[in-house]
Structure 1
């Protein structure tokens, strides 16, 4: 129940309680140690005085003579005659004489069981005494007792004031704990307000001024970084949706026109379409449906690729490239593929990397003439491995090299060919997520050249 109640407290309340408890424990501990040290010091002084009294009393012939001697040397005060008592004992442990106000001091221990020079506390009703026992030169023992009420009263007064100081310290610690908690959590309150404002307004540009240092400063910096990442992600999503809507509008419009034409022809028997035109429209519909399916699939791949879910594995990159080459060769039988691969281990997500290599190979095969050759080479060095794909097509115009990896970008010469303009964008995304880079250039054969560079796996 207590643990559940503690969990329901706010962070400010917890911090205040912890600070107050720590300070209160420190104050109480210091007070207790101070009282203990003072008590030990007072009793050491008291016992030293009793020991000196016992040494003087041991030289006297009788308890009365010893008491008279002690009274003459005792510290002045109104109760000094009442406070001292002297008792002699024999070696057998029998009391041989007593002088002083206390008549029932404990008898001394017999010789052989007696430990020389020791102190003991004696209580007689409300009176408190401390007694010191010592050996006499001629045999036997002497016991000197003195009222210890002054010491006990001093300790009582000291304990009372230490208790008052401790209570004041606890109250002060409680107030200080609340103040410290309020001051320490002020940046957290600002972060909370900023987060609530973002949740309420959906405005991701409301950054927080980082004025604190340490953990709070790191938290504010991380919060601003998170807002920036969310803002960039939302902008990317918005741009993706806008671009996708723009790209989908054309094939959807064409599909709708063709379907309306077929519906209109069927609704008017007198204006039937020729069989050749009808067949052509149905073929166009099939082609457009296939293009739409491919476009939607690539959009899904592009959007989900921003949140990788596949685990990374240490693999030989040549195995992935070989699989991609074989798959592409079966798709484009009119194009030849040559591969010169090298041994290089990489830490990658296999399916994503194979998809990226497939996209580059498909692009090269699409632009290659019948009977053309697509060359795939691998080279490792400098902590990285390069996969290079060259084709024998017309190549990428210089003006388009800087844009070939942008989403939905298609060169003027490529608008008549099938494609969504997303394949190379997916390539760049996958390679970048693996810490690599991509580039496009003109190959020595005059066609296009694409380089995919991945970091080598640590040995």
Structure 2
């Protein structure tokens, strides 16, 4: 929890600095505010004193009579400060003696009056170098062409010291409360942050220990919430990659076992038949010819397996030589349908082909030899599963952005658990596992179609046959504008 206390200390330190600044500055600001509030009051009172003197009623009076006039007119005057009546020479002729003693005859420093500009009040040292709020108002002559003197009203600032102390006390108390609150709030915020960071640390340790399912609760929208969300995304990605790696390892082991089995079977047959011929166990004639035919058949099967493995490796490493050309989809599909009909009928199944006539105007940019291999693998797979008396149907139609080709059979169908893996290499499913074949045909189909920028798919249910389809994007034909490719309609 050191981070929580550290944050609390930071908050408190900031507030202490602010409080010190307030302790220094607040009284000065308050004093300035009080001066600005008291100054106009004293100025109005100074002007009222000038009006009470009413020197205009005594024209020709010399300035020496100011003291007598003030004594008569201002004897019952009440103001918020000390009143001085000063002659032009700066001598105090009369004072109210409310705050100080009798000042008559004292000389007032010239800068007290001259230093005050508009609005007519300010802070000056009047007596004994003591600052005071001072307001001045001139006493005009009866003719208005000069001044008989000046009325000075002032109030010492020491009387405001109590207010300054009170303000300082309140600031100190407020600062103390604020520091305490800051300590509590800082510790609470730091504690919550520490708990959230500790949760991330624990989750990271769990992830490092192999618990890939560990996730964090994301609350709020701050940086730590973003960090938690990023951790969850990273954990999901790592879990997916590890799962993919495990599947790849499982698939690799399965592939090695399947390849070993698929290679062992024809090799064993070839070796057994060859040894029988070598050892003279088979008499010359029909028996020997039959054995030789079986050897050739197994060798051909072995050759096809090796060719499929080599082709799949070329596709996955990007080394397969694809010779693209531009051709119309309709005529090409019609030609392939005629050639594939023979294959299906040799298997004893019924054949039907439905080629959309509009495909004559749809052009493909593809390798016709590799596409023929794709179509041949799908039809061969459908004929094997349809069996004698079954039905195999080839359907091709123009869809948005390209061509969709479908090969359907009415065989036993595919178990739902096998559907996600039918295009994996060497995966043959529950029904197909009983038939001969390495399980490479559909994986080659998917790889070739994707190499052409297309997609493959399958739909099936047990007892309802299977429908394999692939989509190829169209291209611009001779003398036509290019058509943007779109995804297949499934």
TM-score range, shorter chain: 0.5 to 0.7
Equivalent residue number for residue 243 of structure 2: 235
Equivalent residue number for residue 440 of structure 2: 420
Displacement, 1:23?
A: 6.0
Equivalent residue number for residue 388 of structure 2: none
CA, structure 1 residues 291+11, in 2 after alignment: closer, same or farther (shift >3 Å)? farther
Displacement, 1:239?
A: 3.0
SS at 1:391 equivalent:
strand
Query: Contact 1:438/1:453 (CA < 8 Å) preserved in 2?
Result: no
CA, structure 1 residues 217+205, in 2 after alignment: closer, same or farther (shift >3 Å)? same
Displacement, 1:128?
A: 0.9
Inter-partner Cα distance in structure 1 for 2:415 and 2:325:
29
Residue pairs, 1:115-264, within 5 angstroms: 118-123=120-125, 126-136=129-139, 138=142, 139=144, 140=147, 141-150=149-158, 153-154=161-162, 156-158=164-166, 160-161=168-169, 164-165=172-173, 167-168=175-176, 171-172=179-180, 174-176=182-184, 178-208=186-216, 212-213=219-220, 215=222, 223-224=231-232, 227-228=235-236, 230-253=238-261, 255=263
Inter-partner Cα distance in structure 2 for 1:131 and 1:240:
94
The structure with more radius of gyration: 2
Instruction: State TM-score, norm by structure 1.
Output: 0.58
Query: Contact 1:207/1:224 (CA < 8 Å) preserved in 2?
Result: yes
Q: Give per-residue Cα distances to partners, 1:104-136, cap 9 Å, x unaligned.
A: 143756xxxx97761122236741133212233
For structure 2, the 5+ residue unaligned runs are 54-64, 95-102, 272-277, 280-287, 319-323, 342-352, 384-391, 474-484
Equivalent residue number for residue 87 of structure 1: 86
Inter-partner Cα distance in structure 2 for 1:21 and 1:145:
45
CA, structure 1 residues 282+45, in 2 after alignment: closer, same or farther (shift >3 Å)? same
Inter-partner Cα distance in structure 2 for 1:22 and 1:357:
75
RMSD (Å) for aligned C-alpha atoms: 6.0
1:389 and 2:405 matched: yes
Aligned mate of 1:440, from 452, 459, 463: 459
Query: Contact 2:328/2:359 (CA < 8 Å) preserved in 1?
Result: no
1:59 and 2:52 matched: yes
Inter-partner Cα distance in structure 1 for 2:326 and 2:225:
46
Displacement, 1:357?
A: 9.1
Equivalent residue number for residue 378 of structure 2: 364
Query: Contact 2:42/2:134 (CA < 8 Å) preserved in 1?
Result: no
Inter-partner Cα distance in structure 1 for 2:432 and 2:46:
120
Inter-partner Cα distance in structure 2 for 1:289 and 1:87:
125
Q: Give per-residue Cα distances to partners, 1:141-198, cap 9 Å, x unaligned.
A: 5231424222552464256436634753663365245314324414522431333222
Inter-partner Cα distance in structure 2 for 1:147 and 1:168:
34
Instruction: State TM-score, norm by structure 2.
Output: 0.55
Inter-partner Cα distance in structure 2 for 1:258 and 1:30:
96
For structure 1, the 5+ residue unaligned runs are 1-9, 264-269, 302-318, 345-349
Q: Give per-residue Cα distances to partners, 1:25-51, cap 9 Å, x unaligned.
A: 886898867863564145413540353
SS at 1:52 equivalent:
helix
Inter-partner Cα distance in structure 1 for 2:361 and 2:165:
87
1:450 and 2:469 matched: yes
CA, structure 1 residues 451+437, in 2 after alignment: closer, same or farther (shift >3 Å)? closer
CA, structure 1 residues 424+150, in 2 after alignment: closer, same or farther (shift >3 Å)? farther
Total equivalences in the alignment: 385
Query: Contact 2:216/2:228 (CA < 8 Å) preserved in 1?
Result: yes
CA, structure 1 residues 403+368, in 2 after alignment: closer, same or farther (shift >3 Å)? closer
SS at 1:244 equivalent:
helix
Query: Contact 2:84/2:152 (CA < 8 Å) preserved in 1?
Result: yes
Query: Contact 2:378/2:442 (CA < 8 Å) preserved in 1?
Result: no
Aligned mate of 1:398, from 410, 413, 416: 413
Residue pairs, 1:251-290, within 5 angstroms: 251-253=259-261, 255=263, 287-290=304-307
Displacement, 1:409?
A: 3.8
1:48 and 2:33 matched: no
